[in-house]
Amino acid sequence: MLPTSKIITDSIHGDIHLSELEHKVIDTASFQRLRRIKQLSMGQLTYPNATHSRFAHSLGVLKIMTKVIDATKNNGALNLSDIQEQDLRLAALLHDIGHYPYSHLMEKVDHVKLTEDIIEIKEKRTVDASHTKYPNHEDFGKIIVNKQPDILELQECHMVKST
């Protein structure tokens, strides 16, 4: 079990224990921006209480990953090192880092544009260039994890390698 640096109390998941590295990741501007991005995009227009942020969602996924790790340790299914446990927890925490406002809607719009370009232009080189204007949230997440100075600094300090 990783030492606790901070505890966040969540209305859904209860206490969420953070390691020192997780605490530092959450305090970065790259992660804090998730507070302003709705988990359910425009869902609140139909369901007024559907106002959850990607930030809160990511903390909840971290808590669920912690439960999965604890369960596998308790039943003897896995023998994880602290480094492996931290890697799994960071993957859970950062799984949505690449989302931007309305990203699923934008990805769909991009798909429509790409389809129109294929029908209209029929030149793969031009289509590929057009497709890269709006990266999907997974690709944007890789950009953040691999190029944002605040995240890179934490990786260097804690000797974490991103892929």
CATH number at residue 55: 1.10.3210.10
Which whole-number Å values give the CA distances from 18 to 2, 24, 25, 78, 82, in the listed order? 8, 9, 10, 21, 14
Let me know if residue 1 belongs to a domain: no
Let me know if residue 64 belongs to a domain: yes
Let me know if residue 100 belongs to a domain: yes
Domain containing residue 70: 6-157
Buried b (16+ CB within 10 A) or exposed e, 14-37: eebbbbebbebbbebebbebbeeb
Let me know if residue 162 belongs to a domain: no
Nearest partner of 2 among 18, 25, 26, judged by Cα: 18
- The structure's pTM equals 0.75
Let me know if residue 22 belongs to a domain: yes
Please give the tally of structural domains in the chain: 1
Q: Which amino acid is at 112?
A: V
Q: For 2-61, what is each residue's pLDDT tens digit?
A: 999 999 999 999 999 999 999 999 999 999 999 999 888 888 889 998 888 999 999 999
